[in-house]
Structure 1
Amino acid sequence: MGRPRTPLLDRQRITTTALEIVDENGDFSVPQIARRLGVQTGSVYHHVDGRDGIIELLRERVAGAIDVTTLDLRPWDAALESWARSYRAAFAAHPRAIPLLMTNPVRAPRVLEQYERAVVLLRDAGFPVAEVMPVIVALENIVLGSALDMAAPTAMWEVTEGAATPRLAEALDAVGGNRADRAFDLALHGFLAHARGRLAECTGA
């Protein structure tokens, strides 16, 4: 038999397959990837640096959907808000990948470059260097928490007739169908207001 025109394995196919498995199960194993691709487990290791290498490929794939040009906007708070919204949309598309990615150190160069741009944005705005990472991490907490919330059931609170929670039932009825978006807007705007205040304190503006 002649050699196949399209290679059976490459990093792109491994990443796509791993992400499919994570979207289904919340985790993956190298043997699972191999079985789905119809190859030996050892063949997968010829193309990636083990499980950690695959996780970084997943990180690059998911984060690749974030619009990094938002970090070129000015003023800085408009850039952060636009980046946060794009970041949320990218991770909301793969919510089951969030716990996996957030419990492993970030090593992927293209993802690190995105953080570099965020750091430059904040430093240019006047944030002291010691304030920069707390601002970024706090923003990520809001973004990733909201991305998970978007994957939650619409009715997260099921109030039964026998429950003594009439005010809760009233609040749930009033919130409407865009609870996750409204909660994200509230948290994001509150965060940005606080960040503006911190910058003013630090710079005396």
Structure 2
Amino acid sequence: MGRPRTPLLDRERITTTALELVDAQGDFSVPQIARRLGVQTGSVYHHVDGREGIVELLRERVAEGIDVSALELRPWDEALAAWARSYRAAFAAHPRAIPLLMTSPVRAPRVLEQYERAVALLLDAGFPLADVMPVLVALENVVLGSALDLAAPEAMWEIADETATPRLAEALDAVGDRRADAAFELALEGFLDHARRRRETHAAL
């Protein structure tokens, strides 16, 4: 019997299956992936560097949705804002992957290259070296927190008696279905304003 034209197992299929599991249940195991693909667990390990290798494949897959070209925009704050919005959208599509990816070291070369470009953007803009990573991590906190917020139920506050919390009810009515987007834009604006001030303070020294 000849070999099948389509390989039974490869890194793409492993990544896709792992992401489906994460989207459904927030995590994955190698035996689960093997069962879904109809292969032995050991066969999966022939294609990936263990569980950590699969996590990095997931990181690369999710990060493919980020528009890296945004980092080429100028001025720097427009580039960072555009990158942040794209970053948020990519992770909002897979919110259950966020705890998994954010609690393991970043090793994927294509993702590291994206950080390299973001660091270069900030250095070229005049940020002091010691501020670069705090700025990027703070931006990630805004982005990923908002990505999780997008996955939350639309009605996060269930008010049975509006007479007991009338101001809360009015505030929720006023923001309507744009709560998550409005909150993200507010946080992003505040972050960028603070980053601009830090940069200006450094430039004045």
TM-score normalised by L of structure 1: 0.98
Shift of the alpha carbon at 1:172?
Answer: 1.1
Distance in 2 (CA, whole Å) between partners of 1:145 and 1:123 is 25
Shift of the alpha carbon at 1:169?
Answer: 1.2
Shift of the alpha carbon at 1:146?
Answer: 0.5
Q: Which runs of 4+ in 1 moved over 2 A?
A: none
TM-score normalised by L of structure 2: 0.98
Tell me the residue number matched to 2:10: 10
Contact 2:162–2:169 at 8 Å: present in 1 too? no
Tell me the residue number matched to 1:109: 109
Tell me the residue number matched to 2:80: 80
Tell me the residue number matched to 1:45: 45
Shift of the alpha carbon at 1:182?
Answer: 0.5
Distance in 1 (CA, whole Å) between partners of 2:71 and 2:113 is 12
Secondary structure at the counterpart of residue 195 of structure 1: helix
Distance in 2 (CA, whole Å) between partners of 1:163 and 1:109 is 55
Shift of the alpha carbon at 1:117?
Answer: 0.3
Tell me the residue number matched to 2:171: 171
Secondary structure at the counterpart of residue 177 of structure 2: coil
Tell me the residue number matched to 1:190: 190
Distance in 2 (CA, whole Å) between partners of 1:161 and 1:41 is 54
AA of the residue aligned to 1:104: S
The percent identity for this pair of structures is 80
Distance in 1 (CA, whole Å) between partners of 2:95 and 2:194 is 27
AA of the residue aligned to 1:79: A
Distance in 1 (CA, whole Å) between partners of 2:82 and 2:172 is 29
Distance in 2 (CA, whole Å) between partners of 1:19 and 1:80 is 27
For structure 1, the residue ranges without an aligned partner over 5 or more in a row are none
Distance in 2 (CA, whole Å) between partners of 1:116 and 1:11 is 25
Tell me the residue number matched to 1:54: 54
Between the two proteins, the alignment pairs up a number of residues equal to 205
